[in-house]
Structure 1
Amino acid sequence: LWPFDHEFYRKYGFENGEKAISYNFKPSNIKSDFKLDDNTKVTDVTDMKDYLPLMQVAMNAKNKYTRVIGDVDAWLLRGELQGGFKIYLFERDDIPTAYISLKFKKVGEWEQNMQILDIAYTDIQAKHSIFAFLRNFEADISKISINLPIQEEVERYLQSIDDTHKFNTWPSMFRILDIKKCFEQIDFLPSLNEELYFQLEDKIISENSGIWKLTIENGKCNVLKLESISADKDNILDLTINQLSQILIGHSNIEKLLEHSNVQIPEQWKNKDLFPEMPCSVMLWF
């Protein structure tokens, strides 16, 4: 959810899931040494047949946090409802390499801004092409805004940074409702073979509270709630439902999350392949 008050929802087990960054810049601020090469073609996507190349880019994107809603109608619906919604597909030697989706917003009588909703690229050359393409809007657009789930390398494309480059102050929040179902849906690395214990505190959903055993093998997790445990207490990790939410969605790894607490982290939980720290982004389209 996008809360009206983060502290209010945190009391009910929700926790921040994003560490988004906002960039705002003029097209003229993009360095002129980034240019579209002769082999790159940019197409305004208006036809359903172009949906498959978009999916191809999304699946092979170098910025893996990018996601595309898997329904052709979703693209068409956005375009019809959001006047000014655009998707541009980049192809190099007829191979899809990038796309951006954006919309235009009029501010005042003469000014118009651009909001980039999603950006995906399969290699750095394709990323260069995106910024070179955006510079072409210099005569028509006053400001370009882009929200990214992490502090990605954007500054190198700009001649200068102004004070509107900032952390997003309105991150989305997440809440785990069912511990067993949540862990059973996760695809772990097939090479992992671990047995983990944790004691969870959930002040709202009592069924989640208690001692849990996770058996991870062959890429899947078997989840068992225990009435009691004979294992060494040093092997049991103490967590709140808020902390577990951030661990599972990749907001933070366990050691970073607990570094300012007195909680002892069992060695088994320190394997970074179990719950890797990864960018998380929830795109708000409408």
Structure 2
Amino acid sequence: MNNIRRLSDEDFKEYTRLSFEAYPAMYSQMSEEQIDGWIKRMQEAQSEKGDIQYYGYYRDNRLLGAMRTHIFHINVHGVEMLAGGVGNVCVDLTHKKEHIAKELMEYYHGLYRELGAPIVLLWPFRHDFYMKMGYGYGRKYNKYMYRPVDLPRGSKEGVAFMGKGDVDALLECFNRYASVTHGMVYKKRRFFERFLQRYKIVGYRSGDRVEGFMGFNFKKLDPDHPLLQNIEIEYMVYENSTALSRLLAFLQSQLDQVERVVFMTFDDDLHYVSADPRNGVPHIFYINQESNVQGVGIMYRILNKELFFTKLTQHSFNDESLRVRFNVSDSFVPENDGCITVHFVDGKPKIADGYDVEVSLNIEYLSSLLMGVIDFKKLWTYDLAQVSDEEYIDRLDRLFHVSKKPETIEEF
């Protein structure tokens, strides 16, 4: 008999085995002591019944698959929404292709619909696999590699390393940024307590407020050369141009110690801050030299389209007035399948009857569209969305266009 339920304490050792087999490269360096510590932390999180929970797929009381779920609060177009996250989905290698992952995901979707989450997120191991479950692409992520000497010089006043006494100030800075940035997930204090253990953190303080910070580590470039390293920045948040310029000045001053500063960011225009926009890799295509590399990472899924629009009743979709009937195909969450008619009045959405134009598309493309990852005209051009009257294409494009695509800085 098959069933899905929360893991009990005695199941976590088996859960780690499933995790190691599912993600061998990710967990290959863990010692027995680290594994024991990981199990203890998971058991504590499970007993607290907080934002992180673990669920298992059992057959005849044997654990054959598992997942970790998260409760988030995300900024969607300036509106704070409850959101779900799922990670570390794993299946016993001897029981793959038995729809265990599919059943875990179905359970996860049902769980978060009951909790009232209009949207869920995940980091995919394969995008095509999760797109079949209704997940749409998120914004592309960039990796830039610049020489410190090419970064702008300037004042470093207010720049200092952050420590345990700065946890609250870092949290406040991050959540202020999240409150004004579409796509950002709000953090809790415990994140920054662990953040300090994983990264070197340099921040910019104005008065008694931290207004920008970055989390980085040094990465050795050659195992036989002790003096060659890069700085790799995985987190960088700044509330204003002064904070950014002070942090860049700090990085510029490291020119005697590091070869390159590696930025990982959603910023598509960061090459403007470097005197040389090239990233040091000799790749060229049609006389264009490589400035950065991009990757597709996080995916979004609208889990309840009616609730999603209801939450956004005070958000204006570019002041456009248009009545749209969405014919949405969602084969993975049947409750979310079907039509919904939305009246946009001066941009503000309201579920109602009667429409000017019909739009037909799959839930994965609706998710990317409503999150502002892609414009409507692009979806239509790629034949991923259909309209009943092509005279409305430009208006639909204006309706859903965003000036700034979503940023979701959240690892799980």
Shorter chain as normaliser: what TM range? 0.7 to 0.9
In 2: Cα distance, 1:160 partner to 1:41 partner: 28
Would you say the 8 A contact 2:218–2:229 is kept in 1?
A: yes
Q: CA offset at residue 251 of structure 1?
A: 0.2
Give the number of aligned pairs.
Answer: 273
Would you say the 8 A contact 2:151–2:273 is kept in 1?
A: no
Q: Which residue of 1 aligns with 2:193?
A: 76
Q: CA offset at residue 193 of structure 1?
A: 6.3
Which SS does the other structure have where 1:154 is aligned?
Answer: helix
Are residue 250 (structure 1) and residue 378 (structure 2) matched? Answer: no
Which SS does the other structure have where 1:120 is aligned?
Answer: strand
Would you say the 8 A contact 1:175–1:245 is kept in 2?
A: yes
Which SS does the other structure have where 1:169 is aligned?
Answer: strand
Equivalent of residue 202 in structure 2, options 58, 69, 88: 88
Would you say the 8 A contact 2:181–2:406 is kept in 1?
A: no
Q: CA offset at residue 185 of structure 1?
A: 2.8
Q: CA offset at residue 97 of structure 1?
A: 3.9
Q: Which residue of 2 aligns with 1:21?
A: 142
With over 3 angstroms needed to count, the CA separation of the structure-2 counterparts of 1:66 and 1:139, relative to structure 1, is: farther
Q: Which residue of 2 aligns with 1:188?
A: 315
In 2: Cα distance, 1:137 partner to 1:14 partner: 41
Equivalent of residue 35 in structure 1, options 151, 154, 157: 154
Task: Give CA-to-partner distance per residue, 1:50-79, whole Å, 9 cap, x none.
Answer: 533662476269x94684743222111122
Give the percent of matched residue pairs that are identical in Structure 1 and Structure 2: 20
Would you say the 8 A contact 2:234–2:263 is kept in 1?
A: yes
Q: Which residue of 1 aligns with 2:298?
A: 172
Which amino acid in 1 is paired with 2:362? T
In 2: Cα distance, 1:120 partner to 1:272 partner: 29
In 2: Cα distance, 1:17 partner to 1:76 partner: 28
Q: CA offset at residue 118 of structure 1?
A: 2.2
Q: Which residue of 1 aligns with 2:32?
A: none
Any gaps of 5 or more consecutive residues in structure 1? Answer: none
Q: Which has the higher helix share?
A: 2
Q: Which residue of 2 aligns with 1:280?
A: 406
With over 3 angstroms needed to count, the CA separation of the structure-2 counterparts of 1:57 and 1:201, relative to structure 1, is: closer
Q: Which residue of 2 aligns with 1:100?
A: 214
With over 3 angstroms needed to count, the CA separation of the structure-2 counterparts of 1:35 and 1:131, relative to structure 1, is: same
- Pairing 1:31-180 to 2, within 5 Å after superposition: 31=152, 34-36=153-155, 40-49=157-166, 51-52=168-169, 55-56=172-173, 59=176, 64=181, 67=184, 69-80=186-197, 82=198, 85-92=199-206, 96-107=210-221, 108-109=223-224, 110=226, 111-161=228-278, 162-163=280-281, 165-180=291-306
Which amino acid in 2 is paired with 1:36? S
Would you say the 8 A contact 2:301–2:364 is kept in 1?
A: yes
In 2: Cα distance, 1:65 partner to 1:158 partner: 30
TM normalised by structure 1 equals 0.77
Would you say the 8 A contact 2:169–2:210 is kept in 1?
A: no
With over 3 angstroms needed to count, the CA separation of the structure-2 counterparts of 1:106 and 1:132, relative to structure 1, is: same
Q: CA offset at residue 42 of structure 1?
A: 0.6
In 2: Cα distance, 1:268 partner to 1:165 partner: 32
Which SS does the other structure have where 1:188 is aligned?
Answer: coil
Q: CA offset at residue 212 of structure 1?
A: 0.6
With over 3 angstroms needed to count, the CA separation of the structure-2 counterparts of 1:254 and 1:222, relative to structure 1, is: same
Q: CA offset at residue 23 of structure 1?
A: 0.3
Would you say the 8 A contact 1:42–1:91 is kept in 2?
A: yes
TM normalised by structure 2 equals 0.56
Higher relative contact order (CA 8 A, sep 6+): 1
In 2: Cα distance, 1:24 partner to 1:241 partner: 36
In 2: Cα distance, 1:270 partner to 1:54 partner: 38
In 2: Cα distance, 1:97 partner to 1:77 partner: 20
Equivalent of residue 210 in structure 1, options 313, 334, 338: 338
Q: What is the aligned-residue RMSD (CA, Å)?
A: 3.5
